[in-house]
Amino acid sequence: MTTTDPDELRQRVLRSPSMIGADLASVVSTPEAYVVPPPAGTPVRYRVAAVDLGIKTATPLAMARLGCEVHVLPATSTAGQILGADPDGVFFSNGPGDPAACGYAVTAMRDVLAARVPVFGICLGSQVLGRALGLDTYKLRFGHRGVNQPVQDQRTAKVHITSHNHGFAVAMPAAGAGHAFETDFGPAQVTHVNLNDGVVEGLALADRPAFAVQYHPEAAPGPHDARGLFGEFCALMAQRQGRGA
């Protein structure tokens, strides 16, 4: 029988686990690998290994529509398993929990970056890229959850209205947004910031085909300003295939 005494309930709330330090990606991830093929009539142009840290149905579908055969893999897959099918690119998905508790994904990300395979990350995948590049992550006071968050690309000054769902964020490097900082994988930069509060919303390596955004280009209810990011990922995979963008 559930109590209705607010004081007793509050004691239970205080005893419940914190989001800080929580590894939830491995809880929600698919237990078995599966494949999302392109829709009928669309030829397979790219093979993508997608690490499911809490992936949304809309994400593999968005890639499949562009000719990707998406191999969705469990969260704790190693780089050896991720690269085993010789993918043209590797995707790290959104997901719940604290990125600092996803060491397995950070290790896999570092090994994939070392292999110079094209990488695209969304949300938790972006935080995993940040940690793989040596940046810290932290919990936001309230987080960003909604569909009207203004994000500016530091390279073009262009603003997209974007869908967000994140309680953690990548710490801004000392170089600041739009400026190169050194990583184990060469220079990188914060490519996107949130115009409401200056939070890091995107990262890219300069000399390797890897980038990630904290927001949701796949968001089915919209906005769809950022849909083109899937095309940018495909262009990186086309370059690797030697077919040009």
Partner 1 sequence: MTAGQPTARPPALLVLEDGTTFRGTGYGADGETFGEAVFNTGMTGYQETLTDPSYCRQIVAMTAPHIGNTGINDEDNESRAIWVSGFVIRDASPIASNWRPAASPRSRSPAPGRSPCTCANAARCGPPSA
Residue ranges in contact with partner 1 by CB under 8 A: 2, 4, 6-7, 9-10, 12-14, 16-17, 19, 22, 24, 27-28, 54-58, 94-97, 123-124, 142-143, 145-148, 163, 165-167, 219-222
| In contact, 222 and 163? CB cutoff 8 Å | yes
Active-site residue flag, 192: no
Beta-sheet pairing, 200-205 with 159-170: unpaired
Exactly one of 69, 102, 201, 218 is catalytic; name it.
Answer: 218
Active-site residue flag, 216: yes
Helices (H), 68-153: 79-83, 103-114, 124-132
- For residues 54 and 130, which CB has a smaller minimum distance to partner 1 in the complex? 54
The contacts found for 14-21 with CB under 8 angstroms, 24 or more apart, are 19/97, 19/98, 19/139, 19/167, 20/98, 20/139, 21/98, 21/100, 21/101
- For residues 16 and 156, which CB has a smaller minimum distance to partner 1 in the complex? 16
- For residues 14 and 174, which CB has a smaller minimum distance to partner 1 in the complex? 14
Active-site residue flag, 218: yes
Exactly one of 69, 102, 216, 234 is catalytic; name it.
Answer: 216
Find tokens 């095309």 and name the residue. Answer: 231
For 224, the token pair is 């769809």
Exactly one of 71, 123, 160, 192 is catalytic; name it.
Answer: 123
Residue 32 beta carbon to partner 1: minimum distance, rounded to whole angstroms: 12
Q: Which residues are known to be catalytic?
A: 123, 216, 218
